[in-house]
Amino acid sequence: MGEQQHVKFPQEVIDEYAALGVDLQALFSAGHLGTRMGVQILEASADRVVGTMPVEGNTQPYGLLHGGASAVLAETLGSIGSMLHGGTSKIAVGVDLNCTHHRGARSGLVTGVATPLHRGRSTATYEIVITDEDGRRVCSARLTCMLRDVNRSDAERFSDRDGGTVRP
């Protein structure tokens, strides 16, 4: 748990961020919380973000996947989609997260898929569907992010890493 898989980005997106001194692999690795929870980003674009998370280690006292763990996976995936939609001049800041938990998961991996519901100039909203290994829906989530302009301190923080992953 905690190993990071490389996120798949179109080459033109990698090049655009690299020109600003931003390492997309580090930026979208799910951060320290995601690492502790075993979140792995498998695919990422403004149109679709896919990630997984193990149930083991992320359960509540009854042995079921913790609802907060589902929320972490959902917010991570929706934030990545929002950032990619906003591009290099914007930062996505979550302003609303709604999760409906449909069924419990006791083992294996859950997979989240984030797809856009709205992509505007100042906000982006993604639907995130989390399923178990049998394809059954565990959670439906919706994340809205405000897209704000990058300022100088943001740019310095994102391009100057001291070994840790910084994710807006």
Tell me the C-alpha distance between 104 and 67, whole Å: 9
Q: Which residues contact 155 (CB under 8 A, 6 or more apart)?
A: 20
Q: Is residue 133 annotated as part of the catalytic site, yes or no?
A: no
Dihedrals phi, psi of 5, to nearest 5 degrees: -95, 150
Which DSSP string do the residues of 111-141 spell out, in sequence order? EEEEEEEEE-SSEEEEEEEEE-TTS-EEEEE
From 43, 75, 133, 156, the catalytic residue:
75
Task: Tell me the sheet residues that pair with 8.
Answer: none
Report, as residue numbers or ranges, the catalytic residues.
75
